[in-house]
Amino acid sequence: MRHLRAVVRIILIVLSTGTLCVAWLIGSLLGLGSARFREIVRFHIVRTWAIILTAVMGMKRTVKGSEPLPPFCLVANHLSYVDILLILTRVRGVFISRADIRKWPVIGALTYFSGSIFIDRLSAKDVVRVNAQIEKVLANNQGIIFFPEATSTRGAEVARFKSSLLEYPVQKGIPVHFAAISYQTMPGDPVAGDAVCWWGGMTFSNHLYQLLTIRRFEALIHFGETPVYGRNRKDLAALLREKTTEIFVPVIQSDRT
């Protein structure tokens, strides 16, 4: 039954992804003369896509607090590629993502169509280019979203926040919003620390298939009440991690190490 569930979900993901790609193409052709129209079409298609995919995966969403309104900068702890889908169901914004994510099936297409800024984390100089893109996104009254842990974790705690991408909001005096993400699976299914969180040496394809075999899982996203400022990027990173930790619910772990 578990494998049949996964196969059915894969078929539904492929069908819905193909349908929405066609819708995106049609919307782009209709809006050839209007960047504003194309942006509206993209926003609605991406949000619909995220809602459909989370439903197909069996995600039940719980939201605490209020998501920020654009323009904004938002950071969150990072547990899985599923975080991207969860956030896109609620927040209108552009992700800053690792360059290799663009090559991933489904998630790569979703981040590309959502207008994500892809960063080469191995190149310190690439931050300059990304900061210019951040300025452009905020000037267009959109939001910026990124994961300052720089990698996904098993969810036992919030890892140290890296500060490089916080230089722009510090220089411009822009407050940064924060959110905490957590997951829980149903009794009888593998614990969320293994089934939903994607960390260590887990391969993407194997993890996604195993995730699609479980009945359903609960996703909690808790938006902080008040955005924060920092005197410099390192102080801001430490403060954001502290605030995120305060509202973070640790993910239940297995005995794996």
Q: Please tell me the predicted confidence (pLDDT) of residue 81.
A: 92
Confirm whether 183 is domain-assigned.
yes
41 in any annotated domain = no
Q: What is the pLDDT of residue 31?
A: 63
What percent of the chain is predicted at pLDDT more than 90? 58
How would you class 84 by CB atoms within 10 Å of its CB: exposed for 0-12, middle for 13-18, buried for 19 or more?
buried
Across the range 22-43, mean pLDDT stands at 75
Asked if the structure places residue 135 within a domain, the reply is yes
- pLDDT for 255: 55
* 95 domain residue, yes or no: yes
pTM: 0.90
Contacts (Cβ under 8 Å, ≥6 apart) of 210: 190, 195
Question: Is 12 within the bounds of a domain?
Answer: no
Q: What is the CATH number of the domain that holds 211?
A: 3.90.190
Structure tokens at 192: 């969320």
Identify the burial level of 38 via C-beta atoms within 10 angstroms of its C-beta, where 0-12 means exposed, 13-18 middle and 19 or more buried.
middle
Mean pLDDT of the 176-187 span: 97
> pLDDT tens for residues 115-158?
788 887 767 678 788 888 899 889 888 899 999 998 899 999 99
Q: How does residue 111 score in pLDDT terms, banded at 50, 70 and 90?
A: confident
204 within some domain: yes
How confident is the model at residue 23, as a pLDDT? 82
The pLDDT of residue 150: 87
Range of the domain at 86: 58-247
The pLDDT of residue 82 is 94
Q: In the predicted model, what is the mean pLDDT of residues 69-89?
A: 95
Q: Give pLDDT tens digits for 222-240.
A: 999 999 998 899 999 999 9
Task: Please give the tally of structural domains in the chain.
Answer: 1
